[in-house]
Structure 1
Amino acid sequence: MRNVMKAATLESKFPLLAVEEGCIISKDADITVAYRVELPELFTLTQAEYEAVHSAWAKAVKVLPAYSIVHKQDFFIEESYKPDICRDDLSFLSRSFERHFNERPYLRHDCYLFLTKTSKERSRTMSNFNALTRGFIIPKEMQDRETAARFLEACSQFERIINDSGFVRISRLSDADITGTEKSAGIIEKYFSLSQEDTTCLQDITLEPGEMRIGDKFLCLHTLSDPEDLPSSVATDSRYERLSTDRSDCRLSFAAPIGVLLTCNHIVNQYLFIDDSAENLRRFEQTARNMHSLSRYSRSNQINREWIEEYLNEAHSKGLTSIRAHCNVMAWSDDREKLKRVKNDVGSQLALMEAKPRHNTVDLPTLFWAAIPGNAGDFPAEESFYTFIEQALCLFVQETSGRDSLSPFGMRMVDRLTGKPVHLDISDLPMKTGVITNRNKFILGPSGSGKSFFTNHMVRQYYEQGTHVLLVDTGNSYQGLCNLVNARTHGEDGIYFTYEEDNPIAFNPFFVEDGVFDIEKKESVKTLILTLWKRDDEPPTRAEEVALSNAVNLFLEKIRADTSLAPSFNSFYEFIRDEYQEILRQKRTREKDFDVFNFLNVLEPYYRGGEYDFLLNSDRQLDLLNKRFIVFELDNIKDNKVLFPIVTIIIMETFINKMRKLKGIRKMILLEEAWKAISKEGMAEYLKYLFKTVRKFFGEAVVVTQEVEDIISSPIVKGTIINNSDCKILLDQRKYVNKFDEIQALLGLTDKERAQILSINMANHPSRKYKEVWIGLGGSQSAVYATEVSLEEYVCYTTEETEKLELMRLTEKLGGNIELAIRQLAESKRNPDS
């Protein structure tokens, strides 16, 4: 049916003809190759790195033939976080975390790059002869095959140069990415709906004087198209004052104010028009001569001539390529009143770049049409200004917000700028890509910096993904989490060992669930008995070692044969006293080779009725090998010279047993401040062994400390732990800002990492409660994230004694239901007045 309405159809004005072999073909015979662009994350580049990115873009642009157009399009769309709470495998705390961020607004960034080959005639198209103003479009002849082939070859070179830079990655879009499929929208459809969702709905486009509307979205446009509106000078990057100090420098790209820092729906279009540079310069020479001849009539002509000559001098002396450029910011809102605020926001951000904000009400439809993917050839020439490649590239937005790791394993952190949850893998993916060579972690943060919250948050998520977690603590930091795990598993997991007068710490080193005592179990029992028997400065003789080894082997054989015999230290002591003594007599073992009476006398305190009879005779038949969450709380015994070495050996034996027996299962040992005591008590060699070999058994060792002096004073930390921890995690270090040079040298931090660390918690969002944390991987990747948790997680993780006691009392009142207690306390904090 003939269209009788005054409104034109999209089809009649649509400038694109086809998409073939990944190329967009316009009705004016322009060829466009489209790419998706992955930019580096915000606050992760230094000044030198920004210059390297800029240099890579400049080199890439120079390989393109004359009459090419580079069109970079950045979408910034306001979205709300949609929690994934329907999964069956989500734990109570994971579901609470997801709910906490429900509907959290954030800015989604998608970046595209379009390389277009047009013709000399098309490059001079004015706004009065573009696709919108012409009555109909006459399809032109396709450019000859050789020209098209050369252009596609140049595009391949462009792609290789950018990807080789190591900072920016571009990947070519397929036909389906451009046009879409039955189930997903393509980039053209997304552009016309001002959306980045896969399911879009095309809406009416209204073009009126001074106003453009797409569906219920009202658009406004700010342009940088006149030299008078441009900043007096441009640079690759600028200093971001909010996160900089007098000792550190935080850098952002020059165009960052109109990028992720502009918090409204908007699109940033940046164009580079590569004409024939020599012809441009000849035309300027002619204009300069004309201006010179007219300069006697007007001083402005004389000034213009000087500007043109300065441009020509710059071009010839430095061998620069003359091009045209344009930049615009297209923002929108679904409310006219809100649009006024959006308009002001865009203007103020442009002013931060020292540009003159020009709100363009006339050219919006034309520039919107020219920004259609593949239609850059329809750009009105009068809207561009002459410059050089290097200066024009400074208007490129060079960074994006936090991205999710492409890995099934990891933990949930929060993007520091937008507050959106980010999936982060600091163990597997960096190992796979060669960023790190081990999974060990070193965590440094003063008291009150949020260290316990971060470690609780990390180990909980590791545990929920199948990791065997063993924690050695000296401050009850993990009691709430351990109790929750214990309740969730009905006592099968979440084992908490601590020393209390009425409930002292107790083990049974002779118990194994499957009844199999392998070589390593036997060796660990021997080591334990030897520690009880001999002092550090009193090594056993060879005869004593053999006698003890025989005693342990015979006792374990007896346990295996006699199922009615309860394995414990008591029964071992009785075996030595009643049976092994007779065996030694029959063998005629001399007293000087093995003094059995001395042996029994030294071990008597650990036997029934002795001072430490509780320690090795636990009636809890626990095989720690298969327990996935174990906490050893050593605060009350860390200074006890008898108990501490024994408990330490049992801890070490437990983890080594897991390391060697649990094939293909992830293990983690986390040593809080306890590592200081361990390294003093002759366990230094174990720490060295652990940090050097744990990676071979799919494990990771984590050390947590809060004092700078600990790093400096301990050769163990300095020489072994730090050198074998490729992942370093630091919290707020402003307390140590005056001696941070020493920390930087000890940890081998770069100036970039130093600047990131010193920016922690400097510009936190006032309406969100969180602490920031810096994570560095192998000295090559680093970023700052936020540890923001739900109120349920806060109640579970808190180390405040009053809050912990409140949780314990309420749990007891509710019959031991800690999950219900956490829910109720969180709800009371959420609604304090109810």
Structure 2
Amino acid sequence: MSNKVLPSVSLESKQPIYKVEKDCLVSKNADVTVAFRLELPEIFTLSREDYAQLQAAFVKAVRLLPDHCVVHKQDWYVEDKYAPGFEAERTLLSAAYERHFNERPFLNHFCYLYITKTSSERPNWGSTSGLLARRHIVPKDMLDTKVLESFFDSVGQFVRTLEGVGPTNAPFIRSHRLTSDELAGTQEKAGLLEKYLSLDLSDQALQVDLDLTNGLKVGQEFCQMFSVANLDDLPTSVETDIRYEAYSTQYSDFPISFAAPLGLLLGTSHILNQYVFLDNTQKTVKTFEQKKDRLNSLSLYSRQNAINVEYYHAFLNELITHKRRPVRVHCNVLTWGRSEEELAEVRKLVNAAFNQMNCKPRQNTVDIAALYWGGIPGNAGDFPSEETFYTFIEQAVCFWASETNYRSTGATKGIKLSDRLTGKPVLVDISDEPMKRQVIFNRNKFVLGPSGSGKSFFTNHMVRQYYEQGAHVLLVDTGNSYKGLCELVGGVYFTYEEDAPIAFNPFLISGKLDVEKKESIKTLLQALWKKDDEAVSQSEYVSLSTAVSLYYVMLEANPAIQPSFNTFYEFVKGTYRKVLEEEKVREKDFDIDNFLYVLGPYYRGGEYDYLLNSDKELDLVQAPFIVFELDNIKDHPILFPVVTLIIMETFISKMRKLKGVRKMILIEEAWKALTTPGMAAYIKYLFKTVRKFFGEAIVVTQEIDDIIGNEIVKDAIINNSDCKILLDQRKFINRFEEIQALLSLTPKEKDLVLSINRDNKPARGRYTEVFISLGGVVSKVYAIEVSKEEYVTYTTEETEKVRLFEKLRQTGDMPTAIKLFAAELREG
């Protein structure tokens, strides 16, 4: 008995594309196709209103197209692995970070949109009429030039409509029209046609054999296809979005697009094809009227016929009343694998995804080849009509997957965070690029997270990367959170000890006295002199200003005199008292005796005489990484506010003198000392001015009552911080409305914040999530996942810090200590 061998033909003879010309695909049926690559919104970043806005734009765009067009949206989801970049000079921590994520698997997404103009006289073709099944191919005459011009105009409007959705400075969709080389390929790179026919999106895609004898086999891959091509397979209604249970709470409703389960959430390599066929509306209505009349005449013989008549009535009434445009629709998912076990697992995933949408998928077997052939870019006009169903555009576009992966910003600098689905690293610029796009108007940041939420861990990760990218970082801490990092980078670490107190000399300046330095000295003197609830009168302010100015005139005339608080105090006590007497300044206008008495403890022999009279100049302006750890004096009513204010003055000096260098000041709980009435003007000045000097001020807090009950925080810090960063807020979930109102968070941002850490993947190890809002325009939740080396550097757990510094004492080298500790953690 002989086996019958089916004949084989060359792909060249059967492939449907006649030529690629002027960036268009021309099929052998004379169909003309324009192809685009789309950048879609990132997943988990849109609200219900955003999805509705997207759907409205899709509907409007499709309505712009003429009759006899096909819109074919083809989304590729391909399993890929993260490949770290290789930099010439990589630090210990950045190298460890890249090693940690090396070959991290993720699903890469590419979205293509093909708009095809078919011949107007073509009937609806079945699967037996397509180019794949026909023996002889006779190219049709090309369409009239005017018809083509009208079509291209419509395509241009289509794209502009899509690109116009979303905020002006952060549109949801961007497009790129594919060129002839990108479609057909070159000597060096495969084109999109080759990639599709080999199911390989790499530039080195090779042409492979197609086996259609038993289903579909592309090269070594056995293919499966699942489609929705019948109204009976659909739910009673479709939505623009559905509730994503994993991130939703009883207080929030987290949305994803209706078709998202068939997109990135499917979690395996596949192609999602979504078709919308635009026929002639009058002909469609006429056909439906005829079918309705025929069913109506047969309704007495079958209840089903009577029911179907009502369906046709409802469809036609909706069409005419609301001026809907009827379209034919098809949606399918193409998957592949190399073993039956792999294919069986994929079948389960696809069926579960369709079930989430309340759809009943049909696995295509005998017709898989025709559907695969119709999915060739530019060949949508060859798609079998029996695989489509009628609906309106509004319902049709609900089957379009609307999201893509998190992507890195276009900037070269920023912080490395991870996407929520797979942990793939992305470079996030939360300072410069948003400023250029006018998403934000300052670089200041406000960080809120309860104790244990990981805010110090996040800020360690952030400032470390800013420092490695050339920024000057000044940290004011009250808990030794940055000791490990400071030791590693060789920074300057100040902590207050009784036997070695911090000493400053704010009166020592280089060059001449300028306005900012003068203001900072006056602010310091006011803080030392007046209580929090005492106001400085205009006459007192003028007197202090005059005293500071005359003091520096005196220093200029007497270079031998050392600038310090001691010499300033003596100047006021002697020379300036005589000036006041000569000008007959009254005691009620400026009480010099009271001033000298209150500031006496800071003068020679006083309790705090060390504080403002340092005999050595600490050149902190040129030190790129400085930590002031003030835990030992955080509750001291005098030292804490004074030391904090002097630190702020140090940062002001950096602002003024370091031209073209990024400056960052991060203040943890120390900001409370700066929110007293006497210092409010100073902190307002800092937050409003720092952006002009390529700087940013960051405030970190954990107490909700501190921000809700403090007007200065609201007016000075929050209102001048366009970037808001929130950690896990579950401790505050019953009071979150207060936080939402204070930070002016939108309902979308509320849902994002409340989704933090709700679906962390145990397989990825220990990590946490963070919410970042840029001007209320761009808001996302990222994962903070780091290597073991970074973890031991950042950790705030006391037992782990003790172990790290014990290893430092043993080795005398911080990098070695970090490597040893990290190795121990890896070994469990």
How many angstroms does 1:206 deviate by?
A: 2.1
The aligned counterpart of 2:621 is 625
CA distance in 2 between partners of 1:548 and 1:37 (Å): 62
Deviations 1:521-545 (A, max 9, x none): 8637854884698455688696776
> Helix, strand or coil: the match of 2:128?
helix
CA distance in 1 between partners of 2:576 and 2:689 (Å): 39
Which TM-score applies when normalising by structure 2?
0.91
> Helix, strand or coil: the match of 2:106?
strand
Q: Counterparts in 2 of 1:29-44, with a 5 A limit?
A: 29-44=30-45
The aligned counterpart of 2:437 is 433
Q: Given the superposition, is the C-alpha separation of residues 588 and 157 from structure 1 closer, same or farther in structure 2, using an over 3 Å criterion?
A: closer
CA contact (8 A) 1:402 1:422 kept: yes
CA contact (8 A) 1:526 1:552 kept: no
CA contact (8 A) 2:529 2:595 kept: no
The aligned counterpart of 1:750 is 746
> Helix, strand or coil: the match of 2:500?
coil
Asked if 1:419 corresponds to 2:423, the answer is yes
> Helix, strand or coil: the match of 2:265?
coil
CA contact (8 A) 1:520 1:657 kept: no
CA contact (8 A) 1:126 1:381 kept: yes
> Helix, strand or coil: the match of 2:791?
helix
CA distance in 2 between partners of 1:135 and 1:602 (Å): 104
How many angstroms does 1:576 deviate by?
A: 8.3
CA distance in 1 between partners of 2:443 and 2:759 (Å): 31
CA contact (8 A) 1:123 1:377 kept: no
Counterpart residue type for residue 130 of structure 1: G
CA contact (8 A) 1:13 1:136 kept: no
CA distance in 1 between partners of 2:457 and 2:281 (Å): 59
> Helix, strand or coil: the match of 1:162?
helix
Asked if 1:782 corresponds to 2:779, the answer is yes
CA contact (8 A) 1:126 1:382 kept: yes
The aligned counterpart of 1:110 is 110
Q: Given the superposition, is the C-alpha separation of residues 591 and 308 from structure 1 closer, same or farther in structure 2, using an over 3 Å criterion?
A: closer
How many angstroms does 1:192 deviate by?
A: 2.3
Q: Counterparts in 2 of 1:231-270, with a 5 A limit?
A: 231-270=235-274
How many angstroms does 1:300 deviate by?
A: 3.8
CA contact (8 A) 2:471 2:661 kept: yes
Q: 2:175 aligns with which of 163, 170, 173?
A: 170
CA contact (8 A) 1:122 1:378 kept: no
Range with bigger deviation, 256-265 or 184-193: 184-193
How many angstroms does 1:8 deviate by?
A: 2.0
> Helix, strand or coil: the match of 1:500?
coil
How many angstroms does 1:52 deviate by?
A: 1.6
> Helix, strand or coil: the match of 2:201?
coil
Q: Counterparts in 2 of 1:503-514, with a 5 A limit?
A: 503-509=500-506
CA contact (8 A) 1:573 1:600 kept: no
How many angstroms does 1:163 deviate by?
A: 1.5
> Helix, strand or coil: the match of 1:446?
coil
Structure 1 unaligned regions, length at least 5 = 487-493
CA distance in 2 between partners of 1:757 and 1:575 (Å): 52
CA distance in 2 between partners of 1:368 and 1:632 (Å): 65
Q: Counterparts in 2 of 1:384-463, with a 5 A limit?
A: 384-463=388-467
How many angstroms does 1:138 deviate by?
A: 2.7
CA contact (8 A) 2:420 2:781 kept: yes
Range with bigger deviation, 308-317 or 63-72: 308-317
Counterpart residue type for residue 199 of structure 1: Q
How many angstroms does 1:237 deviate by?
A: 1.2
CA contact (8 A) 1:31 1:116 kept: yes
Q: Counterparts in 2 of 1:94-173, with a 5 A limit?
A: 94-166=94-166, 167-173=172-178
Asked if 1:188 corresponds to 2:193, the answer is yes
CA contact (8 A) 1:189 1:200 kept: yes
Aligned length: 809
The aligned counterpart of 2:92 is 92
The aligned counterpart of 2:169 is none
Q: Given the superposition, is the C-alpha separation of residues 510 and 823 from structure 1 closer, same or farther in structure 2, using an over 3 Å criterion?
A: farther
Asked if 1:8 corresponds to 2:3, the answer is no
Deviations 1:283-342 (A, max 9, x none): 122122222333444444444333333322332333222221100000112333211101
How many angstroms does 1:706 deviate by?
A: 0.9
CA contact (8 A) 1:38 1:169 kept: yes
Counterpart residue type for residue 755 of structure 1: D
The aligned counterpart of 1:799 is 796
CA contact (8 A) 1:127 1:381 kept: yes
CA distance in 2 between partners of 1:299 and 1:585 (Å): 108
CA contact (8 A) 1:524 1:653 kept: no
How many angstroms does 1:399 deviate by?
A: 1.4
Counterpart residue type for residue 649 of structure 1: L
Counterpart residue type for residue 326 of structure 1: H
Asked if 1:17 corresponds to 2:12, the answer is no
Q: 2:363 aligns with which of 359, 364, 384?
A: 359
How many angstroms does 1:444 deviate by?
A: 1.0
> Helix, strand or coil: the match of 1:813?
helix
Deviations 1:582-624 (A, max 9, x none): 9899999989999999999987765777644543455665311
CA distance in 2 between partners of 1:302 and 1:774 (Å): 55
Q: Given the superposition, is the C-alpha separation of residues 807 and 502 from structure 1 closer, same or farther in structure 2, using an over 3 Å criterion?
A: farther
Q: Given the superposition, is the C-alpha separation of residues 505 and 524 from structure 1 closer, same or farther in structure 2, using an over 3 Å criterion?
A: farther
CA distance in 2 between partners of 1:777 and 1:805 (Å): 37
Q: Counterparts in 2 of 1:409-808, with a 5 A limit?
A: 409-486=413-490, 494-509=491-506, 516-519=511-514, 523=518, 526-527=521-522, 530=525, 534-535=529-530, 546=546, 549-555=549-555, 569=564, 573=566, 611-616=607-612, 618=614, 621-680=617-676, 682-768=678-764, 769-808=766-805
CA distance in 1 between partners of 2:376 and 2:504 (Å): 71
How many angstroms does 1:552 deviate by?
A: 4.0
The aligned counterpart of 1:54 is 55
CA distance in 1 between partners of 2:413 and 2:66 (Å): 45
CA contact (8 A) 1:126 1:379 kept: yes
Q: Given the superposition, is the C-alpha separation of residues 608 and 746 from structure 1 closer, same or farther in structure 2, using an over 3 Å criterion?
A: closer
> Helix, strand or coil: the match of 2:621?
helix
CA contact (8 A) 2:522 2:545 kept: no
Counterpart residue type for residue 335 of structure 1: S
Q: Given the superposition, is the C-alpha separation of residues 790 and 128 from structure 1 closer, same or farther in structure 2, using an over 3 Å criterion?
A: same
CA distance in 2 between partners of 1:59 and 1:336 (Å): 43
CA distance in 2 between partners of 1:68 and 1:753 (Å): 39
Counterpart residue type for residue 32 of structure 1: T
> Helix, strand or coil: the match of 1:658?
helix
> Helix, strand or coil: the match of 2:656?
helix
CA contact (8 A) 1:269 1:328 kept: yes
Which TM-score applies when normalising by structure 1?
0.91
Q: Given the superposition, is the C-alpha separation of residues 311 and 605 from structure 1 closer, same or farther in structure 2, using an over 3 Å criterion?
A: closer
> Helix, strand or coil: the match of 2:628?
strand
> Helix, strand or coil: the match of 1:127?
coil
Q: Given the superposition, is the C-alpha separation of residues 350 and 645 from structure 1 closer, same or farther in structure 2, using an over 3 Å criterion?
A: closer
CA distance in 2 between partners of 1:795 and 1:388 (Å): 57
Deviations 1:1-45 (A, max 9, x none): xxx994322211121122222211112110001111121122222
CA distance in 2 between partners of 1:257 and 1:669 (Å): 43
> Helix, strand or coil: the match of 1:313?
helix
The aligned counterpart of 1:490 is none
Q: Given the superposition, is the C-alpha separation of residues 298 and 658 from structure 1 closer, same or farther in structure 2, using an over 3 Å criterion?
A: same
> Helix, strand or coil: the match of 1:70?
strand
> Helix, strand or coil: the match of 1:305?
helix
Q: Counterparts in 2 of 1:182-331, with a 5 A limit?
A: 182-210=187-215, 212-331=216-335
Deviations 1:198-233 (A, max 9, x none): 3322322222213x2222222110011122222222
CA contact (8 A) 2:448 2:702 kept: yes
CA distance in 2 between partners of 1:523 and 1:241 (Å): 58
